Amino acid sequence: MPDIIQLLPDHVANQIAAGEVVQRPASVVKELLENAIDAEATVIKLLIKEAGKTLIQVIDNGNGMSRTDARLSFERHATSKIKKAEDLFNIHTKGFRGEALASIAAISHVDLKSKQEGQELGTYIKIEGSNIIFQENISTPKGTSIAVKHLFYNIPARRNFLKSNTIETRHIINEFQRVVLAHPTISFSLYHNDNEIYHLGSSNLRQRIVTVFGKKTNEKLVPINEVTDIIEINGFVAKPEFAKKKRGEQFFFVNNRFIKNAYLNHAVTSAFESLLSSGYHPSYFLYLTVPPKSIDINIHPTKTEIKFDDEKTLYAILHSTVKHSLGQYNVGPVLDFERSASLDTPYNFKDKKSNTPKITVNPDFNPFRSEKKQQWKSLYTNINVHNIEVESETVNASLFSEENTTNKTYQIHKKYIVSSIKSGIVYINQNLAHQRILYEEFLENITVKEAVSQQLLFPLEISFNKNDIELIKEIKEDLENIGFKFDEILGDAIIINGIPTGIIESQITIIIEQLLEDIKNDIPNASFSQLDIMAKSLAKSLAIKTGTILNLKEQEEIVNKLFICKQPDLSPFGKTTFITINIEEIDKIFNH
């Protein structure tokens, strides 16, 4: 039998490696920005077009590369960071595996220009799918410019898996934010389709957070600072009253590297215990500094997961640090163990004895003597019985007589609406049914007719970070079709002067935040239409909640509107809105 195992060609091996390193355009952005930081750049510019599918370019003023280094940087496992195995446990840089550029070049067209300090000319390399087209000397500024074009051009199946431009842009901005928050002293700028999204000058950490997430973020922040022998913790948590239903603004950095760690996240959220309403999550920006030898960052291709030597100790320190800071800044409850002088017994009373109070009893008192009896009939004299309101439900024959029944519906457990039908009984989930009703109404308003809007007496200003502002601009027309009216959209806030009917002013911020989050995450089970996502999100936010008491008119309105919907049996998210029990099934129960 012939040999069947053979070595993969380099270009195939690079494409397989690219599948681990480059999952989407945001993966390329992360790798290129980290390379620029490792090159000690102080100014970094990121340019993207069509959500990175057409172009991702990073320009920096870092150290640059020689002609030989520029060529070697695209070889697999070529790195300046690691010389021996022990170096893996003493890593201070971002990239170290030597896979990123080789993987990126295998699935795109790459133009690299780079020049070192003191050199007259730099080098220019053009690569297409791992193949070097040419390399030549050119005049170029100090630093490196690398442009990645036509991502996944030779792997169409992978390209087809990419989401819409809106979703992919969100992922890019998320990666950009993680990098810029980890390095506030470096200047960053971001341009999408030639529009400037961010321009961040060199600053301190607090200024960088405020610049990224909006000027009103400053008042929300509580500083965190703790130094121990095994860890240093710095950063900020947001005050409990600014907690959100989304988890977006939660950032952990370890040695200036963004990480995800559910265990440490629990340490922070548990410190907010009893300070947050159910379903709300705290925002935090926490920077942990630990000895490089105490962590392993080589356990995941994207390097966002880290293994710690002693997680339990870190958990305890982090939890107590956050809790202490919340108490120190009068945000959370604090136990004061100092004795208050106001609780001391006054000096003059220290040796005095208390006097027992005297109780006198009349032994001749008898409340049941006949002359003291109250004539019970007199209690009901001169009372107009027509004005008496009886709270208890009166049961009479008409309640069980179908032809005389006035109530067509009943609400049970503040959750279900019950109604009789010709064939039996129907049970309707009030929340899911209302979701279906609102969903179809919103879809019709967005796509067919103009929605009714109610004017606000005073315009409402709501702050958002630049990421969310860009998304609001993209969906502004659709929001206006629903009934929102915008006075102005600023760099970090929106001013609303009209809202859809049926929405109260206090709900607006929560509704828009939830809508943005749903669009960013592309709700599971949603269709590919952004309009559909929008209608579903609004229906979910505004539907009558379980636990809401409905009067007879409201119950009947839900029943009537549900059964004129195009698909009344399912909620927008595919859940059953009602069930029916026919009379035969009921008979079987009683005749069993």
- Residue 40: CATH number of its domain: 3.30.565.10
Average pLDDT on 205-223 reads: 91
DSSP 336-387: --SPPGGGSPPGGGTTPPPPPPP----TT--TT-GGG---GGGGGTT--GGG
Instruction: Count the alpha carbons within 13 Å of 460 in the hemisphere toward its beta carbon.
Output: 17
Per the structure, the complete domain to which residue 251 belongs is given by: 206-328
Task: DSSP letter for 28, please.
Answer: H
Residues 210 and 184 in one domain: no
Residues 195 and 218 in one domain: no
pLDDT in tens, 124-176: 999 998 899 999 999 999 999 999 999 999 888 888 888 888 889 889 999 99
Helix (H) or strand (E) holding 228: none
Give phi and psi for 306, each to the nearest 5. -130, 140
pLDDT in tens, 430-471: 999 999 999 888 888 777 666 678 888 889 998 888 888 888
Residues 171 and 291 in one domain: no
Residues 19 and 154 in one domain: yes
Give the pair of three-digit tokens for residue 582.
């026919």
pLDDT beyond 80 at 578: yes
* Residue-level pLDDT at 252: 93
Residues 170 and 217 in one domain: no
Q: How far apart are CA 148 and CA 5, in angstroms?
A: 34
Lowest mean pLDDT, pick from 9-23, 46-60, 395-409, 543-557: 395-409
The mean pLDDT value of the chain amounts to 80
Give phi and psi for 518, each to the nearest 5. -65, -40
Non-local CB neighbours of 534 within 8 Å, separated by 6+ positions: 442, 446, 475, 478, 479, 482, 515, 518, 519
Task: DSSP letter for 203, please.
Answer: -
Average pLDDT on 552-565 reads: 91
Greater confidence (66 vs 361) lies with: 66
Give the pair of three-digit tokens for residue 46.
């990121």
Strands 131-138 and 55-60: unpaired
* Residue-level pLDDT at 372: 47
82-89: list long-range contacts, CB under 8 Å, 24+ apart: 88/298, 89/292, 89/293, 89/296
Q: How far apart are CA 51 and CA 193, in angstroms?
A: 8
Residues 195 and 265 in one domain: no
What is the C-alpha radius of gyration for the chain, rounded to an integer number of angstroms?
34
DSSP 123-168: EEEEEETTEEEEEEEE---SEEEEEEESTTTT-HHHHHT---HHHH
Structural domain contains residue 375: no
Structural domain contains residue 389: no
pLDDT beyond 80 at 552: yes
pLDDT beyond 60 at 376: no
Beta bridge partners of 410: 418
Reduced to 3 DSSP states, what percent helix, strand and coil does the chain have, rounded to the nearest 5?
A: 40, 25, 40
Q: Single out the residue of 288, 5, 268, 48 nearest to residue 146, CA to CA.
A: 48
Residues 103 and 227 in one domain: no
Average pLDDT on 496-522 reads: 82
* Residue-level pLDDT at 338: 46
The b-or-e profile of 156-191 (16+ CB within 10 A means b, else e) is eebeeebeebbbbbbbbbbbbbbbbbbbbebbbbbb
Q: Single out the residue of 317, 335, 339 nearest to residue 327, CA to CA.
A: 335
Strands 485-489 and 493-500: antiparallel
Give the pair of three-digit tokens for residue 159.
């390209």
Tell me how many helices (H) and strands (E) the chain has.
Answer: 15, 22
pLDDT in tens, 247-271: 768 999 999 999 888 888 899 999 9
Residue entry with tokens 């032994």: 363
Q: How far apart are CA 75 and CA 96, in angstroms?
A: 13
Strands 307-308 and 195-200: unpaired
Residue entry with tokens 């070097």: 132
Give the pair of three-digit tokens for residue 426.
């129907």
Structural domain contains residue 397: no
Residue entry with tokens 């215990």: 273
Report residue 368 CA to chain centroid gap: 70
For residue 218, the domain's CATH number is 3.30.230.10
Where is the domain boundary, 328, 350, 367?
328
- Number of domains forming the structure of the chain: 3
Task: DSSP letter for 448, please.
Answer: T
- Extract the runs of DSSP E, i.e. beta strands, from 245-337: 250-254, 257-259, 284-289, 295-296, 307-308
pLDDT in tens, 477-499: 888 888 889 988 888 889 999 98
Task: Give the Cα-Cα-Cα angle 507, 241, 219 (nearest 5 degrees).
Answer: 110
Q: How far apart are CA 73 and CA 14, in angstroms?
A: 13
Task: DSSP letter for 503, please.
Answer: -
In the chain, % of residues over pLDDT 90: 35
Structural domain contains residue 280: yes
Please report which confidence band the pLDDT of residue 87 belongs to, taking 50, 70 and 90 as the band edges: very low
Residues 118 and 251 in one domain: no
Give the pair of three-digit tokens for residue 277.
């309403």
Structural domain contains residue 339: no
Residue 468 near residue 475 (C-beta atoms within 8 A):
no
Residue 74 near residue 14 (C-beta atoms within 8 A):
no
Average pLDDT on 46-65 reads: 95
CB atoms within 10 A of CB 458: 7
pLDDT in tens, 293-338: 877 765 555 556 677 778 888 999 999 999 999 888 766 554 444 4
End-to-end Cα separation, the chain, in angstroms:
71
Residues 247 and 144 in one domain: no
Question: Residue 495 corresponds to which amino acid?
Answer: I
For residue 426, the domain's CATH number is 3.30.1540.20
Residues 542 and 448 in one domain: yes
Residue entry with tokens 């003291």: 372
Residues 198 and 213 in one domain: no
Where is the domain boundary, 291, 308, 328?
328
CA dihedral 467, 471, 472, 475 (to 10 degrees): 180
Structural domain contains residue 377: no
Where is the domain boundary, 306, 328, 350?
328
Structural domain contains residue 381: no
Average pLDDT on 207-222 reads: 90
Structural domain contains residue 260: yes
Residues 265 and 174 in one domain: no
* Residue-level pLDDT at 588: 86
CB atoms within 10 A of CB 552: 13
Q: How far apart are CA 213 and CA 220, in angstroms?
A: 11
Q: Single out the residue of 420, 397, 376, 412 nearest to residue 550, CA to CA.
A: 412
* Length of the chain counted residue by residue: 592
Report residue 76 CA to chain centroid gap: 36
